[in-house]
Each structure stands twice: as C-alpha cells, then as structure tokens.
Amino acid sequence: MTKAFPKKPHQDLPLEPFAAMAYSAELSLKQEALDMFWRAHRLDPKPPPILASPQPRHYRTTTKRRVSVYHKNIILSAQSAKNATPAQQRRSLLEPQSHGHIYQFLEEKLNGTAYRQLAEHLNAVMIRGYHEELSVIFNIDLLNAELTRKLKLLAEHLQTLPQKIVSAFVFQDGSRSSYSFEQRRPAVRVPFKRLFGKERLYLNILGKTWCYHPTAFSQVSEAMLPILLSTAENMLCPFASRLLDLYCGYGLFGLFLSERYNEIVGYDAEGVAIQSAKENAAHLRTKSKIAFYAGRITGEMLVQRLPPVHQSEHILLDPPRQGVEDKVIEVLAARRPERVLHIFCGVDEIPHELKAWKKCGYVPVGVQALDMFAGTPHLEIMILLSRKKRDDYFCT
C-alpha cells in the first residue's frame, strides 16, 4: 500500500495533469482513485459521487505566472515542464482568457528596453478576480525608487486595457519563494504596497457580498463556492446555538451560516483576513452575535482563547493543505461539540487526522467530495464527525 499511495503523490505531476481530458473522464478517474484510497485506508462511510464543477476549465480566480528567461527573452510561465517550448510554458487551460490576455500584454512590455531592469527583479506576476473586477499583483525581489517608478508606469498601462483592472499591488520577496496565496508565506513578513485602485477585492455569492484583502486566501473556483457553502449548510443541519469557525479567513463559512446560529466565533492566523471578516460582519448585519480573532491556531492558543464550553456547539474547521497542528483536534474534541465539519484540501491528511478524532471519540457520519480544483489531482473533502454513543471517551 505504501507504493500505491505515496505521501505526496501529486507533487511529481504537472500543474494541470487532467486539463486536456474530457471532464467526464476526469471525474470518473477521480472517483475511482478516491474509492481506492478509501478502501486502502479502511475509511467509512463510503464517499458518494463527487460533486462536479459547473465550470471545470478557465475557472481560476487566482492565477500566477513565474518570470523566466528563454533564449534571452522574458517568459511569463504558467507551466514549469522541462524542455517545454515558450508556447507550452504559457499554456493554461485553467486560467480565464482575460488573465491570459493580461499576461501577454505584460510579457510584451517586460521584453521592451524600458522595462528590462524591472523584469530582471520580478519573481512572478499574479492576477486575482474573474469577470467583473481584476487585480494584478507583482512579486519582486527588490524595491527601490527606480523600480517603484517603473511599476507605477506599468500599472498605468494596465488601466488602458479592455479588461477591468481595478487595482495593482507589489510585494517584495527577496527569497523568491513559491508564495501564491494558496501555499506557505515567506518566513519573514514581506513589504506590500498598493500601486493604484481599491484596497479590497469583492466576491458575490448567493446574494451576499464579501470583501477580502488582496493577499488573503480565497478559493480559486468561484463557480464552486455556492455548492461548497450549500453542502456545508446541509451537512451541519440540524444546527446548534454556537458555531466555532476555525481557519475562518475573511468569514466565508461563518457569515454564510450566521442566520443558522445564535453565535459565530471565528479564528484565523492572518490578521488581514480577520480584518476583512470584521468588515464583512459589519456589512452583512446579521442578527447573530459575531466575533473574529486573529491568532495562529495551536492547541495552546485554543485552550487560552476559545470561549467557555457551550452545551450546544458545532465546529467547522478548514485548515490549509498541510493540516492542523498537534493537539488542535484533542482540544476541540474535549469541548464535546455536537457536530464537527472538518474540511480537507486534499486526501493526504485524512487518515492521520481521522485517527486523531476517533481516539477522542468522534467518528465520520457523512462525507462529500467536491471538485474544487478541476484539471488537477486535488479534491476538497468535507467530513462530518459526531460523538460515538458512549459518553466516556476522552483524549490522552
């Protein structure tokens, strides 16, 4: 089984390994692989059919191009395949065409004499947003007066494009990390500067509007968000009095579910995300009591900062791909919540973390996979946990 399921099987695959396939074939392959994984790890209950994406291609709301050199020409690469031609490196079936047009424009500018020095210091360019409003973010290894001036000139050119670019930003990352809002941030805090436009990005889902900071995490498939939120709502029903929303980001789940609970308490490690969550709570004006707090989510932090145990409590946690830190599950289970909805951004951490929940007396009672990342090997897995019938379980 070790050979069949290596620890990180997706790391050696191309970025978009299934994008050229027919979507029906991709879904079938993913379902087969998920069922095999479930059987290999003896997980229960069996997952139902994967919820398909209504837009499986050209959907990503956050895209990234690395700046590279090919025969002395600047290339904005979507793919990093070895021995690939520039056309192959630029090719992406998952990014919207509007993003591709912007990258093409920027590549032409960066190959000009006026921007050559800027190109030498750029690590990557990112675009966030989809149809209505787009934001361009430059990742650079050095910021000085001359490079800042060039960036501002380039930002002015962006505003002349037919695509609606509402803002542009730059952050300095001398480590040239792979940071792209979905991965680990650089070890040190990076300077972040607005070049023009709005300070926040906006997202409309199911009649509600959320704002979020340009550097805050946000799901890359806007088309799947209504399905994601509705699934969470259906799995948590019947509802409790309080919802603890961990890794809450800008309040997507908690505020969507706020009409179902009397109290929402959210925590996230990123201060910029929590600030956006507070702004969204003020804007949405729900009747629930709502509070959001910033802090790295560890077992010790939760012991110190969670509110007193409530007899009617649900917990929703949506941690990053690498999973939760030690003791987090034990601390949460000790509160004896009625239900826990644990969301996984992939399958790697599922066996280990379900084992931790089981040790504390919680077992899966529902599971649903969503194709949040069509064209890639990843799935979003939502697992509902509940206490076993015995009441004498405790974590050691």
* Residue 22 counted as domain residue: yes
What pLDDT, on the 0 to 100 scale, is given for residue 191?
Answer: 79
Last residue of a domain, one of 149, 170, 203: 203
- Shared domain for 232 and 370, answered yes or no, is yes
pLDDT band at 214; cut points 50, 70, 90? confident
Q: Do 278 and 337 have their domain in common? A: yes
- Asked whether residue 115 falls in the same domain as residue 197, the answer is yes
- DSSP H or E segment with residue 15: none
10 Å Cβ neighbour count for 174?
15
Same domain for 288 and 274: yes
Average pLDDT in the 253-264 region? Answer: 97
When divided into structural domains, the chain yields a total of 2
* Cis-peptide into 238, omega within 30 deg: yes
pLDDT at residue 216 tops 70: yes
| Residue 17 shares a structural domain with residue 78 | no
Residues 352, 225, single domain; the answer is: yes
Q: What is the pLDDT of residue 332?
A: 98
Amino acid at 194: R
Q: d(Cα 359, Cα 396) in Å, to the nearest integer? A: 8
Q: Residue 86 — very low, low, confident or very high, per pLDDT cuts 50/70/90?
A: confident
pLDDT band at 392 (very low <50, low <70, confident <90, very high): very low
Q: Rounded distance, CA 86 to CA 329, Å? A: 46
Residue 144 binned pLDDT confidence (cut-offs 50, 70, 90): very high
317, pLDDT greater than 90: yes
Domain shared by 175 and 75, yes or no: yes
**Per-residue DSSP letter, 46:** P
Q: 16: closest CA among 54, 58, 45, 49?
A: 58
Question: Domain of 271?
Answer: 9-56+221-387
How many residues are given for the chain? Answer: 396
- State the chain's mean pLDDT as an integer: 90
For residues 71-98, average pLDDT:
85
CA 87, 90, 92, 96 dihedral sign is negative
Q: What average pLDDT does range 166-182 have in this prediction?
A: 80
CATH number for the domain harbouring residue 279:
3.40.50.150
pLDDT for 90? 84
Place of tokens 């069949």: 4
**Rounded Cα gap, residues 304 and 160, in angstroms:** 51
Same domain, 245 and 140: no
> Are residues 228 and 353 located together in one domain of the fold?
yes
Phi/psi at 26 (nearest 5 deg)?
-60, -45
Residue 2 lies in a domain: no
Per-residue confidence band for 395, with pLDDT thresholds at 50, 70 and 90: very low
pLDDT in tens, 1-25: 333 334 444 444 567 999 999 999 9
Whether residue 284 contacts residue 255, with contact meaning beta carbons closer than 8 Å, is answered with: yes
User: Do 276 and 368 have their domain in common?
Assistant: yes
On the question of pLDDT at 240 being above 90, the answer is yes
The pTM for the full model equals 0.91
Cα separation values, 38 from 101, 351, 377, 379, Å: 41, 9, 16, 13
Looking at the predicted structure, is the pLDDT value of residue 108 above 90?
Answer: yes
> What pLDDT sits at residue 190?
60
Distance (Å, rounded) from C-alpha 143 to C-alpha 154? Answer: 15
Q: Is residue 188 part of a domain?
A: yes
